[in-house]
Structure 1
Amino acid sequence: MSETTSTIVYLIIAVSEIGIVLWKGAALRSDPTPTLKVTVSTFVCSATVYVLAAPAVYRALGTALGQPSFATLPVYVGILCCFAHTHGLTLLWDPHLRERPNALRRSLISWTALYALAAVVMATLFCTADLSGPADPLRFNTLYAHDPLVLAFLLVFLATLACGTLSTYRRCRQNRLDDPVLQHAVNWFARAMLCVFGYVLCATPAITAASLGSHALDQVGVFGSTCGATGALLAGYGLSGAAISAWWRERRDRRLLQPLWDLVVAGVDKDLAISDHSVTSRPLWNSGFRLHRGVVEILDGLRILGPWTSPQLVRSVYSLHQQQLTAPQPATPLSPKELESIATAAAIRDALPRLQAAQQAATSAQSRPPAGGSAASLPGVDTPMWQERERLLAVAGALTHPLTAAALAHAQGEESTGSVSDR
């Protein structure tokens, strides 16, 4: 890439990572866990590196300080710092090390000391070297490789980077985590480490050749920088990609639950809403908290509505489905979970008008439910809390299912027949 293209690309990446820092920082206020703190710190470090590595900024900083290539030092130390963070996260996520806190602490201290020592040695060598020549942000490695101090500086950098990336890759391949978000991050970390090691494989021969006076492999070294940038992007995606997907699913699920919320919260008792903004508020942050709050509100509404439901209507859903299966043109069989969701949706739609009529007729909203009704009349009341989100999503989707409408029509028909016979 040319310097102009590199500047544009690096600054775009830096801006995107600053956006992730703001997003993760907001989450950090409500969930100040060590791993999230390390994640935010990683993106801060990475954004800083990309800003300083942008050729236009690189040259401007060198001009301001009177040392054209000065930005190389914070960029290279920053790169080590970024991958030290990544390495640390894989250690924190390792299930075997988490079972042995002392071993985890020793590993973190040892690797942190190694990265810190490398940074100190690099800073000492860099500040001692003669870098008074012209700056070349994309070819610093090969431009100054003839200087023994710069060569030592580069060797320390590459050796530390190689050890860190290979160790992180090995641990990523070994880790098998129960949390799919963390496993997603670990899988992408492994890919990122391979790309970064590709930078080491490209830079080493280019620097070696340049130190011997040959610049035939300079372009290989430049390509190595592309490998390193790709690895950094993959690591960033590992840290944010799954979280962004989870955020998107949370907002989607909150929208899908809205019809059910309207029925069993707004339709039963608006005081069940924890906040006045439960319906209209759709902020970009705290989507997980707002989704969980909506699930709790719906469950509270179902507990009030449960005694007003009809066990006969629930049974009619299953009998109607059996009739559809034995019809001349049989319907597609539904799974037990689907039938349970449809039965719940039909029971909710059937019970709500009765509850609302009783509330309007009574002086108190604490109206007496019909005889025979109980909270257990609704299917799925014994669902574990961690599965309620999926269950309620299925119920919300079943509110407009044809079998739901058929069960309600069947119940209304029986009710009309009963009224006629009573006369």
Structure 2
Amino acid sequence: MNSVRYPLAALVCWLAFARTLTPILRHRRREPAVVALCASFGCQGMYLAMSAPAHWTGSLFGTVTWYNVSVQMWIIAVIACQQVLLIHWLYPADAARARARRAVAVIACVPVAMAVLFQLATTHGHPHNSFAHPGEQPYFVAYEVVYLTAFALGKAVVARACWFYAGRTEDTWVRRGLRTAAVGAGLDLVYSLGRFADVFLVHLGWDPSLWANTTRTSLTLGMALNTIGWTAPLWGQRLDSLRAWCADFRSYRRLRPLWYALHRAHPETSLHTDPRGDLSALWDLRFALHRRVIEIRDGCLALRVHQTSGPAPAPPPDSTERERAAWEAAGIAAALAAESGGARAADHVVPIAAPAAVAAPDRADGLAVTGQAGDPGSGAAGGPASDTAGDPAPGIASGRATSPGDLDFSSDVRWLVQVSRAFAALPERERRTPAG
């Protein structure tokens, strides 16, 4: 397990190290907090890389025992870097520098004490990790106590500070990152508790071999979560952008059935006359999505048809948005069918659903858009729709969102997607459109 677990976690740390090192090398003025963060990633990467099986790297450092000491020194370096980072986050620059120097001076005593205690332990024989009789190697027990106490205190401070300040930041990704780092530091505490049990509870029946995998896994996972949490503000915004792009592309594709039907009926409303594919939208998706919404609106405004003799009744005020979308789609399909049959322009109307929060139920009936693409007053020509049949109510043909309060572009897209999906669900004969 270690041959896979430690190298993978080390890779995560080294990637984070490289990511944070780039802005440090690029700018002359180096922020102490960023430098400390970068150094903590590098130290974690060194610890995890050196924690791989001893036959990989042990020959570079002499005896295995001193090699293990050098590995644990990197953990103390990680704690020092994280303390410096937190200090620079919490205090003004001048006060932070003084506090950081004091913190580093105190933490520096830990590796010195570890080295002295381990050297004393070697004078009483070769130190070993079996603590069935702790009195046989008192200096090595003291060494473990110093190391594990420093480790536990450092991680507890990091976990508490990260969780505390996560609730006081308004930045979403900073909050998520701090909480992730706090969880990682909490998992690291499992390692220190397990090691304390290995030292002091073996003579009471504790079996270290049963928990070794758990403690090492918690340490590795905790360090990986620390790294992910500290770097979350760096990559979180890009993840949001990617998610928004995917959502826009899904909406763009789902608008196609309605857009294509209107395009066939009135191709003059489309900026691009080739509707064969959507791959061209990938180059400038946001622009393409705006164009598709505008062309759908203009296509509806270009439908100079009148209400048929038996229109479907408008949905009641308490109807769901899906029901209103289905009614809207059915009205568009009826208008397209009437136009394909050669009906006179003044004889039909595109139904415009008025939401309950905006208009009374009976206001939806009889409202018309009489403008044609290219005519004065037509939405396709950039002017307002004619209101000869009354004041325009919210709806597709009026160029506004139907759902109450949906006045922004994202809400408008969501509404049009529902109408387009309802339109695509209609039988083929109901949504057949003429080629313009």
Normalising by structure 1, we get a TM-score of 0.56
Residue 11 of structure 1 aligns to a residue in which SS? helix
Quote the residue 1:204 is aligned against. Answer: 196
Quote the residue 1:417 is aligned against. Answer: none
Q: Return the offset for 1:53.
A: 0.8
Identify which of 421, 424, 428 aligns with 1:400: 421
The answer to whether the 8 Å contact 1:295/1:389 transfers is no
Q: Return the offset for 1:256.
A: 0.9
Residue 378 of structure 1 aligns to a residue in which SS? coil
Quote the residue 1:79 is aligned against. Answer: 75
CA 1:18–1:379: 2 relative to 1, 3 Å: farther
Quote the residue 1:8 is aligned against. Answer: 4
CA 1:252–1:334: 2 relative to 1, 3 Å: same
Q: Which has the higher helix share?
A: 1
Q: Return the offset for 1:194.
A: 2.7
CA 1:218–1:238: 2 relative to 1, 3 Å: same
Letter in structure 2 aligned against 1:6:
N
The answer to whether the 8 Å contact 2:6/2:52 transfers is yes
Deviations 1:229-273 (A, max 9, x none): 343244345457894975773464254134269769xx9446xxx
Quote the residue 2:399 is aligned against. Answer: 378
Residue 257 of structure 1 aligns to a residue in which SS? helix
Letter in structure 2 aligned against 1:63:
S
Residue 54 of structure 1 aligns to a residue in which SS? coil
The answer to whether the 8 Å contact 1:61/1:70 transfers is no
Quote the residue 2:156 is aligned against. Answer: 166
> Structure 1 vs Structure 2: percent identity of aligned residues?
12
1:178 and 2:170 are equivalent in the alignment: yes
Identify which of 281, 286, 309 aligns with 1:295: 286
Gaps of 5+ in 2: 261-268, 273-277, 337-372, 385-397
Residue 69 of structure 1 aligns to a residue in which SS? helix
Q: Return the offset for 1:119.
A: 4.2
Quote the residue 1:61 is aligned against. Answer: 57
Identify which of 303, 317, 320 aligns with 1:334: 320
The answer to whether the 8 Å contact 1:17/1:44 transfers is yes
The answer to whether the 8 Å contact 1:253/1:393 transfers is no
1:308 & 1:26 partners in 2: Cα distance? Answer: 53
1:110 & 1:186 partners in 2: Cα distance? Answer: 22
2:115 & 2:102 partners in 1: Cα distance? Answer: 20
CA 1:142–1:341: 2 relative to 1, 3 Å: farther
Residue 195 of structure 2 aligns to a residue in which SS? helix
2:127 & 2:409 partners in 1: Cα distance? Answer: 60
Residue 400 of structure 1 aligns to a residue in which SS? helix
2:328 & 2:13 partners in 1: Cα distance? Answer: 47
1:28 & 1:269 partners in 2: Cα distance? Answer: 43
The answer to whether the 8 Å contact 1:342/1:404 transfers is no
Gaps of 5+ in 1: 271-275, 282-292, 327-331, 352-366, 414-423
The answer to whether the 8 Å contact 1:18/1:43 transfers is yes
CA 1:106–1:25: 2 relative to 1, 3 Å: closer
Root mean square deviation, CA, Å:
6.1
2:253 & 2:22 partners in 1: Cα distance? Answer: 28
Q: Which has the larger radius of gyration?
A: 2
Quote the residue 2:179 is aligned against. Answer: 187
1:121 & 1:379 partners in 2: Cα distance? Answer: 67
Residue 379 of structure 1 aligns to a residue in which SS? coil
In the TM superposition, 1:286-325 aligns within 5 A as 294-299=285-290, 302=293, 310=301, 323-325=314-316
Letter in structure 1 aligned against 2:176:
H
Residue 64 of structure 2 aligns to a residue in which SS? coil
1:83 & 1:375 partners in 2: Cα distance? Answer: 65
Normalising by structure 2, we get a TM-score of 0.55
